[in-house]
Structure 1
Amino acid sequence: MSGGKTLRLAGVAALALTFVAGCSSSGSSESNSASGGAATRVFAADNGDITIPVDPKRVVATGYAVPVLLEADAALVGISSWKRGIAMMTPEDKAKYDSLKQIAGETAAETNYEAIAAVEPDLIIIGVPKPVLADIDLKRLESIAPVVAIGPTVPDAWRELSQRQSDAAGRAQNFKAAKDAYDTKAAGLKAKYATAVSGLRFGHVGGYGQIKPGTFHREFAGSWGTNIARDIGLTYYGEVKQKGGGGLDVSEYPALEELTASLGQADVITYSLQPDGTPAPAVQAVLESALWKNLPAVKAGKAFGIRYTEAATYESATKTLDALDQALAPLLSGS
């Protein structure tokens, strides 16, 4: 469930505020103790302070919360469609994804309220950005079960968002295990490539958002195609000419004629590939450009395609680390 990448990314300041609030409001208390009711706690979500079960037994997840809670082994009973992440799922998570009742499509407007009510959730976790919440009838959902909205802001905010989503679903420990595994692999690769990438300036061509014909997606540090690579020590130079909020704080869409001005100083260029290893049409148009072929990094054989750059969970980002390791291997030999 998404309203388009540029719409669903709001701002890093908002992320910081909601993350701190989420961490400070995770206490629990016994609710309806006289009647033996389940323990509850107050959780700070994008839609306010919400009283939720401490240990939810029947969870509905939508949007970015879907892959997170599949990986965290939450007690899911219904999910929205999440086609963009299927290629990054493990066989086990894909099997769970296929087996669960789909209660919404790819967009917030495709929410099926009757289907959600039918699976009788005790918690609903909405993984869409604040602007897209307007497409959802929250009052109707709240009449079914407690609703917590925890949606994306800037591209690299998936780390904090996935932590909060896992916490809300009562799976904080599972999240920690995935994060620890990712951190260990990233640290190993950072050490492996430390000498090879020292002093090098990287640039990145992405394939996300609304890329009009004759333009390209230039990504800087903290964007989709760069944020995981930074964890292994890559330095992406430059910044957007004018910040536009959310993803537009860390990426822009200049004309193809600006390729030389934008990437001419890069020692190495990375570019996003689709999960099957092929460039999306917008990226392919850049690769076929005469200006691209004349860039110093390209002429030196220092342009590398990277798969899984849209990863937004620690398990899927581990695949991105493997893809980076495979693509950047020539740098280790200096070739």
Structure 2
Amino acid sequence: MFARRIPGLAGAVALAVALTSCGSSDSDSPAGDASDKSGQKTREFTVGDEKVSIPADPERVVATGYAVPTLIQADAPLVGISSWKRGEPMMDGEEKAAYDELPKVAGELASETNYEAIAEAEPDLIVLGVPVPVLGDIDMDRLKSIAPVVAVGPMVPSEWREVSRKHADAAGVLATYEKAEDAYDAKAAELKKKYADALDGLKFGHVGSYGDTSKGTFQREFNGSWGTNAAQDVGADYVGKPKEPGPGSKSVSEYPSLEELSDSLGASDVITYSVNTDGSVPDAVQAVLDSKLWKNLPAVKNRRALPVAFTEAATYGDAMKTLDAIDKSFAPLLDK
């Protein structure tokens, strides 16, 4: 549900990913301070300016969007999920089996929400991992009549960390989540130390997989974007910013024409580019690699154009795979 983007919406809805009414949970509040009508213990969870009363220990959770992979990996008590096709290539066998087995109560889009299916799942908590622009396509009153709703989505791609923590906290699986977080942080610190000297002073650029070949554009990503945020944890610095920054992901990526390739990436010492999980090159990236201008970029001539897989990661479990891919990709830089 609520896939990251669709090419035609890149400059509008889905790329204007916004922080969906989110705040921090009241973690310091005693979990058993109150009970709902059924006698289930509840706690207050802060969502933006609103405090939502949610189960202290949820037993039946429906998850959508960004919440789907996080809560599958944290072994939350899920009874229904949205489709999450963008994450399927990153799932291991156990995760994919769980994903396939769970009832799909919504599709990739907000308009594909199946309220009857959600009601039939009898959730005691609904966690929406959605961007603000699509909330208008959801009948929130209808959802709230079924179960308490926590709606939290990222403002920019790199905020999957904060957003996934809130999803895990609401679903009562924060302890499991934090084990994955600690493992990621330890590995990122190890790689940052390994590449510290090699990356020192280098200016990075990144070509993302969401250019529009029909319009002759490519995606340039800066710090905080999909293809760059994990590499930043290793020490890479994607310098610059969009020429015309906007809200959400428009503040960390832009879509120049292929004719602007030299102006956009000519000063980059290293260029990384997104590839699929199997190493194949997405069409939008291949169009850049086939350009004569690409072949004349200094970084390309110096053999410092590096593919990176798993740039779609939005959980610590998936981002561990991103770190593996970065380690493999950055290895030649150790010989600089």
After TM superposition, the score normalised by the length of structure 1 is 0.93
Q: Which residue of 2 aligns with 1:111?
A: 113
Q: 1:220 to 1:87 in 2, by over 3 A?
A: same
Matched, 1:18 2:19: no
1:139-193 alpha-carbon deviations (Å, 9 max, x no partner): 1111111111111221100000000000000011111101000000101111111
Q: Return the alpha-carbon distance in structure 2 between the equivalents of residues 89 and 197 of structure 1.
A: 30
> Structure 1 segments of 4 or more deviating over 4 A?
9-12, 23-27, 209-212
Out of 140, 143, 148, the residue aligned to residue 141 of structure 1 is 143
Q: Which residue of 1 aligns with 2:33?
A: 30
Q: Which residue of 1 aligns with 2:294?
A: 292
1:44-97 alpha-carbon deviations (Å, 9 max, x no partner): 225832110010000000111000100111000111111110111122111111
Q: Return the alpha-carbon distance in structure 1 between the equivalents of residues 49 and 118 of structure 2.
A: 19
3-state SS of the aligned residue for 1:205?
strand
Q: Which residue of 2 aligns with 1:74?
A: 76
Out of 214, 217, 242, the residue aligned to residue 215 of structure 1 is 217
Q: Return the alpha-carbon distance in structure 1 between the equivalents of residues 314 and 211 of structure 2.
A: 16
Structure 1 unaligned residues grouped into runs of 5+: none
Q: Return the alpha-carbon distance in structure 2 between the equivalents of residues 25 and 105 of structure 1.
A: 35
Select between 182-191 and 131-140 the one with higher mean Cα deviation.
131-140
Matched, 1:270 2:272: yes
Percentage of identical aligned residues: 57
Q: Which residue of 2 aligns with 1:2?
A: 2
Counterparts of residues 161-180 of structure 1 (less than 5 Å): 161-180=163-182
User: Could you tell me how far 1:8 is from its partner in structure 2?
Assistant: 3.6
Q: Return the alpha-carbon distance in structure 2 between the equivalents of residues 24 and 254 of structure 1.
A: 44
3-state SS of the aligned residue for 1:260?
helix
Q: Which amino acid aligns with 1:319?
A: K
Q: Which residue of 1 aligns with 2:159?
A: 157
Out of 61, 64, 81, the residue aligned to residue 62 of structure 1 is 64
3-state SS of the aligned residue for 1:22?
coil
Q: Return the alpha-carbon distance in structure 1 between the equivalents of residues 132 and 274 of structure 2.
A: 27
Out of 132, 141, 146, the residue aligned to residue 130 of structure 1 is 132
What's the Cα RMSD here? Answer: 2.0
Residue pair 1:39, 1:54 contacting (<8 A) in 2 also? yes
Q: Which residue of 2 aligns with 1:44?
A: 46
